[in-house]
Chains A and B, each alone.
Chain A
Amino acid sequence: MSNVVVLDNGGGLMKAGIGGERDPTAVVPNCTARPLSSKKWLVADQLLSPTEDLTSATLRRPFDRGHLTNPDLQSTLWAHIFANLLKIAPSQCSLLLTEPLFTLPSIQRSVDELVFEEFNFKALFVADSPSLVHLYEASRRPYGLVSKAQCSLVVDSGFSFTHAAPVFQNFTLNYGVKRLDLGGKALTNYLKELVSYRSVNVMDESFIIDDVKEKLCFVSLDVDRDLQIARRRGKTNLFRCAYVLPDGITHTRGYVKDPEEAKRYMGLDDGASLDSLEKDETDRADIIGKPEDRRTIDLSKNEFSMTNERFIVPEMLFRPADLGMNQAGLAECIVRAVNSCHPYLHPILYQSIILTGGSTLFPRFSERLERELRPLVPDVYEVKISSQEDPILGVWRGGSLLASSPDFETMCVTKAEYEELGSARCRKRFFR
């Protein structure tokens, strides 16, 4: 029996499990929340139970801007996970922990204290997510380019930020890493802001708006055209879609009013010009009948409809300048990351772009990225973008793979070594 705990400690979700298994045992939010009605703070998996009413719940996260800033809170969350979900005794196990790139030394020290002094783990290995993603992808396709060239460009768009990180021979080239300070959290907050201004005040409803974002947002392939479509009235507006807020009695979770309606944008052709589309749509509307049916708002239910918000929100990843942010978009971020590596690596890096992280789950994300990237890359290079099979769990699976490798024990820092050498010198072992 393997006794390595693999913990992908993300700002949004914690992925925890036993090394060697395919999927993590627990994928739970990395936060505590307290519903309005109670005085008790709910932890991690308790937030996922369908009976809890999380309307206007107060939230606390141990992470700020992607880095661990509240070790006390993190330790209660970890204790809960280790005891109740994984059912392991930390003093019998080693830990493989992921940490964001460029973690500050002071934060590393507090993590070490947590792992060795509070939980008494036998040994610790700290990994960064791009190298684990690379490891996993390389092992999945032993004859693919990623594993032959031992080189890939991992684009990890997570909860707090987005990294474009070149990986070479299982090591992240940290001089080539470029970071964009936008992630799922900022997008959710942006959507919150938009919906609150335009229809219902949802500023306190992080969980609901997260759900709205995951179910309804998509990446537009042609923003100008889609904005014009979003302006239309009635049935011809392919993007309008209603979301029903929970009422606390019959349903405690919100839901998309009409899933068919939500998927109508999928029918849009790439090349279709606006005129032909318009004609087509008016025809269809005639056949289907009165456009009024769905437009009438049901007053017994609290709902709001979304149109252009659905694609304007993920759009910010590609053009942060629109938000007033002085940062380049994702495509340019990738180009800069590649350009800071050795020229010999450029063609391979462009051919092995791997998308991972929850924010890449927006429909059509990779198509749009390819469209943005192609004009920026010299035309002699091929651009190939592949998404991970499960972008949220990809890092964890890589970690699980690494934990089950025979050399893993020798790579770790043991508790004895930590006590002898201290945090800073132990960290040197992880080459970062």
Chain B
Amino acid sequence: MEEDGSNSIRRMSTRSRKIAPKMAAALASSDNRTQAILARLDALENDNAATEAVQQIDDDDDEVSLDDDDDQVYQKKQSKSTKRKTRQAKALENAKKASRTFLELLHEANLESLPPHVPSYLRAAVGPPSSSSSRHFCTVCGFTANYTCVQCGMRFCSIRCQTIHNDTRCLKFVA
């Protein structure tokens, strides 16, 4: 009997372990939401991000084609892996050359260390709104939305919009 009881307790403990990943998943899903919101706000500050990536590849091609004139034979002999390496190196160089974003500069400026009475970029931000209520608009059609997607937290107003949401944009901003 006693053994059984201890067994059941053990079982309980294994069960709770089984629950834990579920909890973790739930936590992750809520994280998905904040992640989605942040990514969305970040996307609002982009200029043509998609084309920027394409453009970088273009640049690489240009440089390669310039090299071609000098040592075509040599390049043909080279294995693919080394060619990739040079590309990687070039990408690294480009990253070094590329201007830093404002957020990086802001982080570097270390404004948190200023005494509280000094007005700074961080303290000039308007801060959270006084009422936490926000209106919800359907992300599909734009009208008032009563429902929330359980996965990503975006809003929709009807079944029709929900299917569109699930098909096309659910978790779009989560990497």
Residues in A lying within 8 Å of B, measured CB to CB:
31, 34, 56-61, 64-67, 69-73, 101-102, 104-107, 163-164, 174-175, 177-181, 185-186, 189-190, 193-194, 197-198, 203-204, 206, 223, 227, 230-231, 307-309, 312, 319-329, 332-333, 336
Contact = CB atoms under 8 A, between A and B. Distances in A.
Interface stretch (B3-11, B39-47, B72-80): B39-47
Contact of A69 (B100, B130, B168): B100
Contacts of A101: 124
A177 B43 CA distance: 26
B134 A58 contact: no
A178 B126 contact: yes
Interface of B: 37, 40-41, 43-48, 50-52, 54-55, 99-103, 105-106, 108-109, 111, 119-121, 124-130, 132-137, 139-144, 168-169
Given A101-B124, A102-B124, A186-B44, A308 B142 contact: yes
A204 B48 contact: yes
Contacts of A204: 48, 50-51
B130 A309 contact: no
A400 B44 CA distance: 33
Q: Which 9 A-B pairs have the closest CB atoms?
A: A70-B99, A321-B134, A102-B121, A328-B129, A324-B37, A64-B102, A186-B44, A65-B102, A308-B142
B40 A328 contact: no
A104 B106 contact: yes
Contact of B105 (A67, A174, A206): A67
Contact of B144 (A71, A190, A194, A227): A227
A328 B141 contact: no
A181 B132 CA distance: 18
9 contacts: A59-B51, A69-B101, A102-B119, A102-B124, A106-B109, A178-B124, A185-B45, A308-B142, A323-B44
B128 A327 contact: yes
A26 to B, nearest CB: 21
Question: Taking each of A69, A190, A312, which has the highest tally of chain B beta carbons within 10 Å of its own beta carbon?
Answer: A69
A322 B130 contact: no
A107 B136 CA distance: 38
B105 A104 contact: yes
A79 to B, nearest CB: 17
Nearest to A103: B121
A296 B130 CA distance: 46
B48 to A, nearest CB: 5
B49 to A, nearest CB: 9
B143 A58 contact: no
Contacts of B44: 185-186, 189-190, 323
Nearest to B138: A308
B134 A336 contact: no
Q: Dominant SS at the B interface? A: loop
B121 A104 contact: yes
Question: Taking each of A34, A58, A175, A193, which has the highest tally of chain B beta carbons within 10 Å of its own beta carbon?
Answer: A58
B129 A312 contact: no
A59 B105 contact: no
Contacts of A326: 128-129
Nearest to B133: A321
Nearest to A180: B126
A328 B125 CA distance: 10
Question: Taking each of B124, B125, B128, which has the highest tally of chain A beta carbons within 10 Å of its own beta carbon?
Answer: B124
A42 to B, nearest CB: 14
A328 B142 contact: no
B134 A322 contact: yes
Contacts of B37: 324
A185 B137 CA distance: 21
Contact of A107 (B105, B125, B135): B105
Nearest to A231: B143
B105 A328 contact: no
Given A69-B101, A102-B119, A324 B40 contact: yes
Question: Taking each of B47, B111, B134, B140, which has the highest tally of chain A beta carbons within 10 Å of its own beta carbon?
Answer: B47
Nearest to A320: B129
Given A177-B119, A186-B45, 9 more contacts: A58-B48, A69-B102, A185-B44, A197-B168, A307-B142, A323-B40, A324-B40, A328-B126, A332-B126
A321 B127 CA distance: 11
Given A204-B50, A329-B129, A175 B41 contact: no
Nearest to A102: B121
A432 to B, nearest CB: 10
Question: Taking each of B47, B50, B54, B126, which has the highest tally of chain A beta carbons within 10 Å of its own beta carbon?
Answer: B126
A193 B130 CA distance: 28
A255 B136 CA distance: 31
A56 B51 contact: yes
Nearest to A330: B126
Nearest to A104: B109
Contacts of A177: 119, 124
Contacts of B46: 189
Given A106-B109, A193-B43, A319 B135 contact: yes
A102 B106 CA distance: 11
A326 B54 CA distance: 33
Contacts of A325: 41
B124 A58 contact: no
A317 to B, nearest CB: 12
Contacts of B125: 178-179, 181, 327
Nearest to B43: A189
B139 A197 contact: yes
Contacts of B99: 64, 69-73
